[in-house]
């Protein structure tokens, strides 16, 4: 069972947290965000712990992976801290608005041997898969 923490309590983080909580091979350990009201509501709804310091969560040994669904300007710091702590990471897009910073972060992840996936949710969307199949088949 993969033990996951969701960092963030906004719209996309709520979607990720609900999906993790519903997955049969995952446990949603906690939701973390400085926005106490959002975290408290989400953790109550999904039956997990609430935390208010995203960076502090990364030191926990009972968490295998994190989903980063926080504001864009926090992504790189949380991503690199999570990788340094040995966590697998799903980070919402974009990693950063500055391409040089994003490239530097990608290089750091590679040096650290991190396991990171950038969230691009449409990749698995059934309509997008059908469109891809139609393109591959020459129907479009």
In contact, 118 and 85? CB cutoff 8 Å: no
**Which tens digits make up the pLDDT trace of 1-15?**
999 999 999 999 999
Q: Does residue 30 carry a pLDDT above 80?
A: yes
In contact, 91 and 116? CB cutoff 8 Å: yes
- Per-residue tokens: 104: 């530097």
Q: Where does 2-136 sit in CATH, by number? A: 3.40.50.720
- Per-residue tokens: 86: 């040995």
**Which tens digits make up the pLDDT trace of 90-120?**
999 999 999 999 999 999 999 999 999 998 7
Cα–Cα distance for residue pair 3/1, rounded to 1 Å? 6
Of the candidates 68, 60, 59, 2, the residue with the CA atom closest to the CA atom of residue 33 = 68
In contact, 50 and 78? CB cutoff 8 Å: no
Domain ranges of the chain: 2-136
What mean pLDDT comes out for the span 87-91? 98
In contact, 66 and 32? CB cutoff 8 Å: no
Of the candidates 68, 51, 131, the residue with the CA atom closest to the CA atom of residue 105 = 68
């Amino acid at each position: 069972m993969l033990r996951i923490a969701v960092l963030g309590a906004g719209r996309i983080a709520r979607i990720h947290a609900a999906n993790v909580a519903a997955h049969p091979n995952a446990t949603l350990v906690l939701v973390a965000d400085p926005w106490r009201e959002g975290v408290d509501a989400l953790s109550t709804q999904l039956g997990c712990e609430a935390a208010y310091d995203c960076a502090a969560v990364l030191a926990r040994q009972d968490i295998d992976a994190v989903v980063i669904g926080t504001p864009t300007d926090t992504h790189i710091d949380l991503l690199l801290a999570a990788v340094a702590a040995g966590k697998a990471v799903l980070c919402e897009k974009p990693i950063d608005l500055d391409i040089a910073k994003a490239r530097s972060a990608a290089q750091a992840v590679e040096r650290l041997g991190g396991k990171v996936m950038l969230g691009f949710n449409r990749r698995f969307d059934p309509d997008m898969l059908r469109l891809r199949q139609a393109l591959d088949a020459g129907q479009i």
